[in-house]
Amino acid sequence: MKKRILSGMRPTGKLHLGHYHGALKNWVDLQNEGSYECFYFVADWHALTSDYASTGGLKEFAREMIIDWLSVGLDPEKSTLFIQSRILEHAELFVLLSMITPLPWLERNPTYKEMKAELIEKDLSTFGFLGYPVLQAADILMYKAYGVPVGVDQLPHLELTREIARRFNFLYETIFPIPEPLLAAVPKMLGTDGRKMSKSYENAICLSDSGQVLREKVAAMFTDPQRMRKTDPGRPEICNVFSLHEIYTAHGEVGEIEESCRSASIGCVACKKRLAGRIEESMRDIHERQEHYRAHGGEVEDIIEEGIARARKIAGTTMAEVRSALKIR
Ligand code: SF4
């Protein structure tokens, strides 16, 4: 039996290189490894926990996100792709788990405090925002996932899911396995302005960017701030353009760029043009698949419906066990 893993992503607009290198590439690797049964879902209810006031684009974002997932190599024959809000059992399990989750567990969640402090333009003093780790626990436990691919910053959330599962098993009946974190090394991915790549900072290179758009974004990237003229030697170790060359450019060529930068024999404009070319080359297959799925909407709908049907079957079985353990039905 393959071990089941589960992960989700909020539909907040176009996916970018940060999503790809921070999560999607790992999802594809786990899928292709062959030892896991992979469930990946669009966390549209999670998007509501912070963006409840603007729901207009959600449905389209969810569909676009699945197109991007398919385009980067997620294979619906190997992975189950579904949309959270289409499986109503997630809401039921969320309600039941919220009954047994002590409030201090949620209040001490570091992401809760950080996001509340960062997103001051939004009123996040809502029950939904405080309780989203419980919804996350419901998502994971519903599928009795063995493991969850996470970044280091998400470990406190997963720990909360593990605590909730232990508490449920102790109070009622041992139903839920305690999910393990599957940590993967991810490269540092900064936006064009040197801050974390994020749609809200408007500094992202999107998975769909190509041609002129891509070249313009790369041309606007921050480099070594001390390199004012082409004749100034550069410091690739602090240059974001160079860190992307390390990902997208062949090893030997990276060494040559590093040396040329330090000896001031290459200018930043030329260096960026080379990078834009390498990114474009490496995304050619992704762009072709994006075009295909955009032109074949029915195929995408079928994939989504099939994923939902697979997920719903498991969710139904789990909830029957949960209701019986609680002696509700
Ligand atoms: S030459 Fe390239 S690596 Fe060096 S500072 Fe300019 S952009 Fe960065």
**What rounded mean pLDDT belongs to the chain?**
94
Query: Tell me: the pLDDT tens digits for 124-169?
Result: 889 999 999 999 999 999 999 999 998 888 898 899 999 999 999 9
| Mutational test site, ligand 1, from 253, 254, 261, 279, max ligand atoms within 8 Å of CB | 261
Atom 7 of ligand 1, residue of closest alpha carbon: 268
- Ligand 1 centre to CA of 245 (Å) is 10
Non-local CB neighbours of 230 within 8 Å, separated by 6+ positions: 264, 267, 268
Whole-number Å distance between alpha carbons of 140 and 309: 17
Query: Tell me: the pLDDT tens digits for 248-306?
Result: 999 999 999 999 999 999 999 999 999 999 999 999 999 999 999 999 999 999 999 99
Q: For residue 184, give both structure tokens.
A: 């993967």
pTM value?
0.93
Non-local CB neighbours of 262 within 8 Å, separated by 6+ positions: 233, 234, 235, 236
> What does the DSSP assignment read for 130-148?
HTHHHHHHHHHHHTT-SEE
Q: Return the percentage of the chain with pLDDT > 90, whole number.
A: 85
| Mutational test site, ligand 1, from 217, 248, 259, 266, max ligand atoms within 8 Å of CB | 266
**37 φ/ψ angles, rounded to the nearest 5 degrees:** -100, 110
Is there a contact between 307 and 80 (Cβ–Cβ < 8 Å)? yes
- Ligand 1 centre to CA of 60 (Å) is 38
- Ligand 1 centre to CA of 242 (Å) is 6
CA 35 distance to own-chain centroid: 21
Is there a contact between 41 and 183 (Cβ–Cβ < 8 Å)? no
Mean pLDDT of 74-98: 98
- Ligand 1 centre to CA of 153 (Å) is 30
| Mutational test site, ligand 1, from 268, 269, 272, max ligand atoms within 8 Å of CB | 268
pLDDT at residue 118 tops 80 = no
- Ligand 1 centre to CA of 268 (Å) is 5
pLDDT at residue 50 tops 90 = no
Own/partner pairs for 258-264, CB < 8 Å, 24+ apart? 261/233, 261/234, 261/235, 261/236, 262/233, 262/234, 262/235, 262/236, 263/233, 264/230, 264/231, 264/232, 264/233, 264/234
